Amino acid sequence: SIQNEVESFKSDLDKLQSRIKSSSDAVSHVCPTKEEERSEVIKKNLLELTAVTSDVERLNEEMFTLPLGDHTQMSLQNLNRMWAQTIATALEDCR
């Protein structure tokens, strides 16, 4: 049913938010003085962010087919921003 699909969407969104927030926190709080450790943390989290790319894209596509409330749509927009910003930060730090 549509209601089950919406609930599944929200559950997937919550899981992705947690994963991306965890990577975002790790990338933004990595110690700049320990170069080797910093590099490993950045790489690990960049791999995690890359791994969730297809899930983020799927939710973006499903958003157009499900009757989602404003709060859920805003949560997805925030997820997209956090995901993109964290990837950009991680890539910049890899240079």
Domains of the chain, CATH where assigned: 2-94 (1.20.58)
10 Å CB burial of residue 83 (0-12, 13-18, 19+) is buried
**Could you read off the pLDDT of 20-53 as tens digits, one per residue?**
999 999 888 876 667 778 888 888 989 999 999 9
54 against 95, higher pLDDT: 54
Supply the pTM of this predicted model.
0.86
The reported pLDDT for the residue numbered 60 is 97
56 touches 8 (CB < 8 A): no
Whole-angstrom Cα distance, residue 55 to residue 22? 16
Q: Tell how far CA 35 is from the center of its chain.
A: 25
Query: Rounded to whole angstroms, how far apart are CA atoms 90 and 84?
Result: 10
